[in-house]
Structure 1
Amino acid sequence: MTRHLLRLGASALLIACLGWGAPQQAQAQSAPVSVAEPAPGVQAPDYNAWHQVAERAEDAIADNRVTNLGLEQIRAQIVEWRGRFLEAQSANQSRIETVRGQIAALGAVPEEGVEEAPEIAARRAELNQQLVRLQAPGLAADEAFRRAEGIIREIDRTLRDRQADELMQLWPSPLNPANWSAGYAALSASATNLRQEVISAWDTPQRREEFNGNLPLILGYLAFALVVLVRGRAWMELLTLRLQTRASARGREVYALLVSLGQVILPLAGVYALASAIRATGLVGLVGEVLVNALPLVGFSMLAARWLGLQVFPRTDSDRAPFVLPAERRAEGRLWTNALGVIFAIELVRRLVVNPDQDAYAAHAVLSFPMIALAGLMVFRIGQLLRLHTHNDRGEEDQISVRNRIMGLIGQVSIAAGLIAPILAAVGYVAAASALVFPMVLSLGLVGVLLVLLQLETDVYALITKDKDGGREALVPVLVGFALTLAALPVFALIWGARRSELVELWVRFREGFAVGGTRISPTDFLTFVLVFAIGFTITRLLQGGLAGSVLPKTRLDPGGQKAVVSGLGYVGFFLAGLFAFTAAGIDLSSLAIVAGALSVGVGFGLQNIVSNFVSGIILLIERPVSEGDWIEVGGVMGTVKAISVRSTVIETFDRTDVIVPNADLISGMVTNWTRGNLSGRLILPVGVAYGSDTRKVERILREITEEQPLVILNPPPSVLFVGFGADSLDFEIRAILRDVKFKLSTQSDMLHEIARRFTEEGIEIPFAQRDIWLRNPEALAPRSAGPGLAAAGLAGAAGGMIGPRANTAPHMTGEDMDAADAGAEPDAAEGTGQEDRE
């Protein structure tokens, strides 16, 4: 348990540690003997020595008397041998490939009953024998590698089983008063041993002489330690507060956080000075030496807990605080955090100093229970604070962010651990309770450190980019925070009892990668792929920028052609970058051909529209029927081509809206390009005048108006045509070529304004549609009581008069309809019909 606690403390000191080195390799074995003949210059492992080591390891696994430390040492030795075998598996690889190529060059083996030339048969047999000899070292190494793998797995399983047995061991209950004497006796014995060591050392003349000689040094250490421990933290807090109030707003948070670390570093220097003063007295024995060596870790535990409490639960209200809590709850959080640091330090000292000779389990249970109960209470209270933060920090519509969900889950686990650990310790499962509550304490501390680091990297990014608000919402801090979280996972594993060798094993497995078909892809290959592709991507972008900015503008290519060249270069560059990246990473694409062929069928059906648009985009860039800036009309959409990508084309309409058109529609559909090749275009403007107007005069006026327009081209000259007799007007048509067809609508508007003005001045009427209604039976309009005079009047109107006012349109009415509308009169038996006449 002492080693486990020391490991937990070391994990807290090394939170940022990400990797672990492999065990140091042993000295090379003398005169290695290989079971197979290696290639010249290749040294095979000593398999005789390996068999002896493997047999001893297997015997140790079967012997329950071998300690965990002994198994760890054996495991490290087996891991070293495994590394040798892994290297030996690739022995003669280049020569094996060469011999296989030679055998393939001899052709296929003849079918049964077909004789082969004696020279070729002899050469084939010779090459096959040579291939067998070259493969023998690799096969022997592979067999030994698999044996080493099995031994390592057995050792790991044995250590895990032992660890589980230790956690489930039932100790005497600390609540039993009969066991209290054992705890008191162990504590008294440790204090007595420490006192006896000091008295014994003082009674030794040499020790007293050493003490007197070092007295000035001891006093200096003590004075420094006293000043730094008493006033150091207050000085650093004052400096941090001044920096927060006086520094520039841009880097205030970063500098304040860095300076606040002095609240840990400066008092910790005082702790080291105190330990040096105690050593300098010469009165330290075995127990005292253990206690002095633990002082730095004890001091760091308490100082780091206090600093972390101030960072996570600040005294002042701030939107940068990790948790949304009121002031009284933050003060409570600082109290529990400081108390956890003190309890962890006391438990560490107790594990190192108190070693009972008899009734060890009862003594440890009695002495551990108060610390477990207090730590459980404080972990429980911190878990409640995390739950309160989750409740307070809710977004719109009462939504909870992912971060707050994680905080809420940690709070629930803390509450459960704070309740379960004291109960387990009270029953007698003290080891399980300690393995639950103290790792929970360190986990909460690690979570707090992560929150501080996440805030720090966000502030640093904002300081670098000089964007305080936008920098905190950028993508880079999120990615860095995700990387920090992943880096903390191994530390969490160490805190919760994972062995360092297990993490190293996982790292080795991770580096080996995974197999896809016949290709093994490792993280190194992936990083190589990303690096090479990034270099190719950067070179492509630089070439595109150089062409677009320096070379192409000096050529005769139009802007659309320049854009096509730049885009085509980008596609080719990306393809070559990917190809070189695959080659540099050593990924054999031929082994993935079958998988790619199978996937291509499904992709062909599911993504055929996307592939069609992609191919159409390539055709657009090569043939360039439309280019950026062209005024086109496709599918009823008219506008200017804004951008052409591999899948679609963006058209900006004249009402400033973007319409995304698939490239396939531009290739397979009908497209009108108004500005292809040149900007000139024809304007056709119809004009109608009233019957009776002077047609030659109208033609002259329209020609003058057209020729006065600045955008109308005079060569060829515009034309004014008398195109026909319309239903309502004499129809003319203006046809003119404009210099820039993009201004067609504005030119048309100006011409219409001028036509309206000139026609008004010249007295030329612009007609509009009008209708006259004539009735064949006007007597149907007269009431039945009306006299013959009214009927005669109506009849006269039917003969030559017009009934009703002029209108652009009039309904087609019969006499029966009009009679029915007159005072509810009955319709006449004689049915009338309407007749229209245009005037």
Structure 2
Amino acid sequence: MTRMARLLSALLLAASFVVGGGFAPASAQDVTQPTYSEWELRARADEVKLDLGTASVTELERIRERMVNWRSQFLDAQTTNEARISTVRAQIDALGAAPAEGEEEPEDIASRRSALNAQLADLRAPGLRAEEAYTRADGIIREIDTIIRDRQASELLELGPSPLNPVNWPAAVTGLVGSAVATWGEVKANVTSPSYQMEARRNLPLILLLLAIGGMLIVRGKTWATMGVDRLRGNTRRGTGVFRFLVSLGEILLPYAGIYALIEAISATGFSGTRWEFLLNQLPIWAALLLGTRWLANQTFHEIGDRSTVQLNDRARWEGRRLANALAWLYVVRAVVEAQGNLDDYSSATTAVVEFPLLVLSALALFRLCRVISKESNGEVPEGEDRSVFRARLMRLLGRAGMVVAVVGVLMASVGYQRFGETSIYPFVATLGLAAFVMVLQRFIFDLNDLISDRFGTEGDGLIPVLAAFILSAVALPFLALIWGARTADLSEVWTRFREGFVFGDTRVSPTDFLVVIIVFVIGYMLTRLLQGALKSSVLPKTKIDKGGQTAITSGIGYVGIFLAAIIAITSGGLDLSSLAIVAGALSVGIGFGLQTIVSNFVSGIILLVERPISEGDWIEVNGTHGIVKDISVRSTRIETFDMFDMIVPNADLISGTVSNYTRGNMLGRIVIPVGVAYGCDTRKVQQLLLTIVRRHEDVLMNPEPGVDFIGFGADSLDFQIRAVLYDVTMGLDVRTEIRHQITETFKKEGIEIPFSQRDVWLRNPDALSPKPAKPLPEAKAEKPTKDTPLPDAEDKPKRVPGGGLDLPEGRGDGETSGDGGIDK
């Protein structure tokens, strides 16, 4: 009930804004006019200080703060008489355009125009004066920001004493020893003092209680955190990542509370003097830094790989945790040394010598940590996790940049640019910590989304967690700017510029106007959806309009409602739509040429919704593809084919092309089944059998009566054709299948043959396929035998082989035997 009441209150408040004109500009009597005489004196005095250039940074910040207050007053004063100015301008426009040069205007209209112009000038005078003063104040603020930034740059590049110069070492050692002796002497003097001892004895019960509480929280804090989260979790196994996060927070918050109790116990003794009191006041911050860094390192480089936000191997994660904790300890030691230096007023040389070793160690740890996270061989990114891949690439980029910063910072500090080295190394360490913290919180958001949505392992699969992670990254940007030396005044200036908005024509558009636009549009959109829901569920089903017509009506109301909501929201925000006429005219040419396809589809979608040649649920055929219409939008129509995939068809194709609608108006439809029988069958008997089969089917209509036609003499069969009208044409495939089964069964019983294609092949010259006899070899001239010529043996004579060739003995003849039995010469 409370949430509902708050929601209704917010809606009523927004409605009151709409009725009242939104965040309407205040009238003349509502705007408090600045005291311009005081402003002139203050502005002149501050400008003189800026010209002299002797003001300190602190004084410049005070001047800037005063100028910001004045500028805010002038900004509010610019809306003076705004409503009356609009009225007078409307009156002047009602008189018509001013006559051109050389033309005369009726005297009464001319006098009225002159009076209205004079009245308009008087009404605009306060606003114009406020604009002039606003510009002056804004200029002073910009000048102060420039001076401060120039001084910061000069300090950053100022050459100081080199820490490597041995001349500066004795003074540094003397300063450190003096600070330690002074700190120890203060404690020793307080401990031996009877008055302090009496105060400690009086607070002894409180001291013992704080020591006991602090010790128990430090020793047992981790165990208690685990027990508390387990009790909160109960028996559910969901949300493992969320409960791990809570346990990790408890493991550092409870020990931190214990450390704070110990600090209070030490303060209650009264033994801490001025120096120790100053250090004890800083100790909670240092403890929070150490514990926070340890928690962040454990989350970023967890011992278990799947719990780590940066995917590295075991060795790299262990080294990353060790180096991150080392950087935290080095930063705390530097803070202690810096605090001692502020107490004892160290010289610049002493400060450079004392802090240089800590800077070198920090740079070394930073270099090694960046090398660990940037080395590709250390990465273990699971396949398919795009978010983990992005994190790995980001950390590698930061790692490579960090190694460069570490080397350059140490080199610059070694030659005397100590400020440059400190403002490059330590901010980069903080940048790594901020990036790791954002990644840890993003993972917690994803785990929380899984817990709420009862899903596991989705890794932020959804719009809400992704938007939340994006907002978290945007929120981290101001902190990143502060880390790298930005002033809070710079951030407040950015916010001021954002609140002021921008000038659009003669209208200043501010974030408040955008808020009004969003609220009014959301209200209009909600009302449109409510009206659509009421029509779709309550009103239209009770009419005689078919489903397609109901969908067209609700869709049309939705488009009209959204359009009206946008128009009303823009006008409620104070935007003059007439100023957009020139821009719209210029864009119309581009729309006509570049967006003609989109416009064509949009117009075709309107035609489809109005004429309704097709409706949702219709069975249509487009370009040879059959399917059921599932959704008709303004740009395209979604058709689900019988292969169960969606086909998106532009509406222009449905309007300009040929579309077959099988279920428009009713579900009746005709089927045609061709049947062939062998030659020699009784055709009248076949026709009667087919007619009997189709009439007996329960899905076939008897009016119009089905028919069987003897359509011709085919090459292989006598061709018949069954024609029948069905109650539901969507059952056509099932009906055809069943009728064919019955035809096969009936023909088999009646002895009627269903032929198949047969062909007789006649050869015109069959003798051409027989092998041709080989040509006889030419007879060689017989030589007259002599008494020395040996007679040929019987086995040496050539023999006939199949195919008409000769089988010659090896080595005989003038050539080799060819493949066809002849002799290759």
TM-score range, shorter chain: 0.7 to 0.9
Measure how far apart 1:710 and its partner are. Answer: 1.4
Give the Cα–Cα distance (whole angstroms) in 1 for the partners of residues 225 and 673 of structure 2: 84
Deviations 1:86-135 (A, max 9, x none): 11111111111111122222232233344333333322222222211111
Give the Cα–Cα distance (whole angstroms) in 2 for the partners of residues 693 and 264 of structure 1: 97
Give the Cα–Cα distance (whole angstroms) in 1 for the partners of residues 100 and 753 of structure 2: 102
Q: Does 1:96 align with 2:47?
A: no
Of the three residues 75, 98, 105, the one matched with 1:109 is 98
Give the Cα–Cα distance (whole angstroms) in 1 for the partners of residues 198 and 391 of structure 2: 62
Letter in 1 for 2:759: N
Q: What is the aligned partner in structure 1 of residue 707 from structure 2? A: 719
Measure how far apart 1:209 and its partner are. Answer: 5.4
Letter in 2 for 1:393: E
Q: What is the aligned partner in structure 2 of residue 323 from structure 1? A: 310
Q: What is the aligned partner in structure 2 of residue 593 from structure 1? A: 581
Q: What is the aligned partner in structure 1 of residue 607 from structure 2? A: 619
Q: 2:89–2:120: 8 Å Cα contact kept in structure 1? A: yes
Q: What is the aligned partner in structure 1 of residue 571 from structure 2? A: 583
Q: 2:379–2:392: 8 Å Cα contact kept in structure 1? A: no
Q: What is the aligned partner in structure 2 of residue 13 from structure 1? A: none
Q: 2:427–2:484: 8 Å Cα contact kept in structure 1? A: yes
Give the Cα–Cα distance (whole angstroms) in 1 for the partners of residues 619 and 30 of structure 2: 73
Letter in 2 for 1:716: P
Q: 1:214–1:281: 8 Å Cα contact kept in structure 2? A: yes
- Show the 5 A alignment for 1:620-659: 620-659=608-647
Measure how far apart 1:810 and its partner are. Answer: 5.0
Q: What is the aligned partner in structure 2 of residue 750 from structure 1? A: 738
Q: Does 1:334 align with 2:321?
A: yes
Give the Cα–Cα distance (whole angstroms) in 1 for the partners of residues 756 and 322 of structure 2: 92
Measure how far apart 1:357 and its partner are. Answer: 6.7
Measure how far apart 1:364 and its partner are. Answer: 0.6
Of the three residues 40, 47, 62, the one matched with 1:51 is 40
Q: Does 1:162 align with 2:162?
A: no
Give the Cα–Cα distance (whole angstroms) in 1 for the partners of residues 223 and 170 of structure 2: 45
Letter in 1 for 2:330: I
Q: What is the aligned partner in structure 1 of residue 807 from structure 2? A: none
Q: 1:617–1:647: 8 Å Cα contact kept in structure 2? A: yes
Measure how far apart 1:823 and its partner are. Answer: 4.5
Give the Cα–Cα distance (whole angstroms) in 2 for the partners of residues 698 and 241 of structure 1: 84
What SS does structure 2 have at the residue aligned with 1:470? coil
Q: What is the aligned partner in structure 2 of residue 602 from structure 1? A: 590
Give the Cα–Cα distance (whole angstroms) in 1 for the partners of residues 268 and 418 of structure 2: 38
Deviations 1:362-386 (A, max 9, x none): 0110111121111111111211221
Give the Cα–Cα distance (whole angstroms) in 2 for the partners of residues 765 and 203 of structure 1: 127
Q: 1:465–1:471: 8 Å Cα contact kept in structure 2? A: no
Q: 1:236–1:259: 8 Å Cα contact kept in structure 2? A: no
Give the Cα–Cα distance (whole angstroms) in 1 for the partners of residues 242 and 59 of structure 2: 47
Give the Cα–Cα distance (whole angstroms) in 2 for the partners of residues 391 and 202 of structure 1: 54
What SS does structure 2 have at the residue aligned with 1:335? helix
RMSD: 3.3
Q: What is the aligned partner in structure 2 of residue 666 from structure 1? A: 654
Could you tell which deviates more after superposition, 368-377 or 120-129?
120-129
Of the three residues 421, 426, 437, the one matched with 2:414 is 426
Give the Cα–Cα distance (whole angstroms) in 1 for the partners of residues 378 and 43 of structure 2: 57
Q: 1:383–1:412: 8 Å Cα contact kept in structure 2? A: yes
Q: What is the aligned partner in structure 2 of residue 343 from structure 1? A: 330
Measure how far apart 1:631 and its partner are. Answer: 2.1
Give the Cα–Cα distance (whole angstroms) in 1 for the partners of residues 542 and 243 of structure 2: 51
Measure how far apart 1:627 and its partner are. Answer: 1.6
What SS does structure 2 have at the residue aligned with 1:717? coil
- Residues 505 and 480 of structure 1: CA distance in aligned 2, closer, same or farther (over 3 Å): same
Q: Does 1:506 align with 2:491?
A: no
What SS does structure 2 have at the residue aligned with 1:469? coil
Deviations 1:710-745 (A, max 9, x none): 122112323344556667766554433222222233
Question: How many residues of Structure 1 are paired with residues of Structure 2 in the alignment?
Answer: 747
Q: 2:163–2:352: 8 Å Cα contact kept in structure 1? A: yes
Task: Give the % identical residues.
Answer: 48
Give the Cα–Cα distance (whole angstroms) in 1 for the partners of residues 224 and 407 of structure 2: 37
Q: What is the aligned partner in structure 2 of residue 366 from structure 1? A: 353
- Show the 5 A alignment for 1:395-406: 401-406=389-394
Of the three residues 352, 372, 380, the one matched with 2:367 is 380
Q: Does 1:143 align with 2:137?
A: no
Give the Cα–Cα distance (whole angstroms) in 1 for the partners of residues 713 and 319 of structure 2: 97
Could you tell which deviates more after superposition, 600-609 or 583-592?
583-592
- Residues 675 and 347 of structure 1: CA distance in aligned 2, closer, same or farther (over 3 Å): same
- Show the 5 A alignment for 1:693-772: 694-722=682-710, 732-762=720-750
What SS does structure 2 have at the residue aligned with 1:262? helix
Measure how far apart 1:515 and its partner are. Answer: 5.0
- Residues 268 and 572 of structure 1: CA distance in aligned 2, closer, same or farther (over 3 Å): same
Q: What is the aligned partner in structure 1 of residue 671 from structure 2? A: 683
Q: 1:182–1:359: 8 Å Cα contact kept in structure 2? A: no
Deviations 1:456-475 (A, max 9, x none): 11111111111122363333
Give the Cα–Cα distance (whole angstroms) in 1 for the partners of residues 362 and 748 of structure 2: 100
Q: 1:324–1:389: 8 Å Cα contact kept in structure 2? A: no
What SS does structure 2 have at the residue aligned with 1:650? strand
Q: What is the aligned partner in structure 2 of residue 125 from structure 1? A: 114
Of the three residues 798, 808, 832, the one matched with 2:759 is 808
Deviations 1:417-454 (A, max 9, x none): 22222222221111111111221222222222212211
Measure how far apart 1:159 and its partner are. Answer: 0.6
Q: Does 1:461 align with 2:461?
A: no
What SS does structure 2 have at the residue aligned with 1:150? helix
- Residues 640 and 203 of structure 1: CA distance in aligned 2, closer, same or farther (over 3 Å): closer
Unaligned runs of 5+ in 2: 1-26, 775-825
Letter in 2 for 1:45: P
Measure how far apart 1:678 and its partner are. Answer: 1.1
Q: What is the aligned partner in structure 2 of residue 789 from structure 1? A: none
Of the three residues 408, 424, 430, the one matched with 1:442 is 430
Unaligned runs of 5+ in 1: 1-37, 770-806, 827-839
Measure how far apart 1:652 and its partner are. Answer: 3.3
Give the Cα–Cα distance (whole angstroms) in 2 for the partners of residues 712 and 636 of structure 1: 26
TM-score w.r.t. length of structure 2: 0.83
Q: What is the aligned partner in structure 2 of residue 560 from structure 1? A: 548
Give the Cα–Cα distance (whole angstroms) in 1 for the partners of residues 551 and 712 of structure 2: 48
Measure how far apart 1:819 and its partner are. Answer: 5.7
Letter in 1 for 2:288: F
Give the Cα–Cα distance (whole angstroms) in 1 for the partners of residues 678 and 318 of structure 2: 93
What SS does structure 1 have at the residue aligned with 2:458? helix
- Residues 180 and 728 of structure 1: CA distance in aligned 2, closer, same or farther (over 3 Å): closer
Give the Cα–Cα distance (whole angstroms) in 2 for the partners of residues 749 and 573 of structure 1: 50
Of the three residues 213, 237, 240, the one matched with 1:249 is 237
Give the Cα–Cα distance (whole angstroms) in 2 for the partners of residues 714 and 594 of structure 1: 67
Could you tell which deviates more after superposition, 449-458 or 198-207?
198-207
Q: 1:517–1:592: 8 Å Cα contact kept in structure 2? A: no
Q: Does 1:304 align with 2:292?
A: yes
Q: Does 1:353 align with 2:340?
A: yes
Give the Cα–Cα distance (whole angstroms) in 2 for the partners of residues 650 and 73 of structure 1: 65
What SS does structure 2 have at the residue aligned with 1:468? coil
Q: 1:386–1:408: 8 Å Cα contact kept in structure 2? A: yes
Letter in 2 for 1:138: G
Measure how far apart 1:45 and its partner are. Answer: 0.9
What SS does structure 1 have at the residue aligned with 2:307? coil
Q: What is the aligned partner in structure 2 of residue 270 from structure 1? A: 258
Measure how far apart 1:569 and its partner are. Answer: 3.0
Measure how far apart 1:489 and its partner are. Answer: 0.7
- Residues 219 and 470 of structure 1: CA distance in aligned 2, closer, same or farther (over 3 Å): closer
Q: What is the aligned partner in structure 1 of residue 68 from structure 2? A: 79
Give the Cα–Cα distance (whole angstroms) in 2 for the partners of residues 467 and 40 of structure 1: 58
Give the Cα–Cα distance (whole angstroms) in 2 for the partners of residues 63 and 249 of structure 1: 70
- Residues 118 and 403 of structure 1: CA distance in aligned 2, closer, same or farther (over 3 Å): same
Q: Does 1:417 align with 2:368?
A: no
Q: 1:190–1:355: 8 Å Cα contact kept in structure 2? A: no
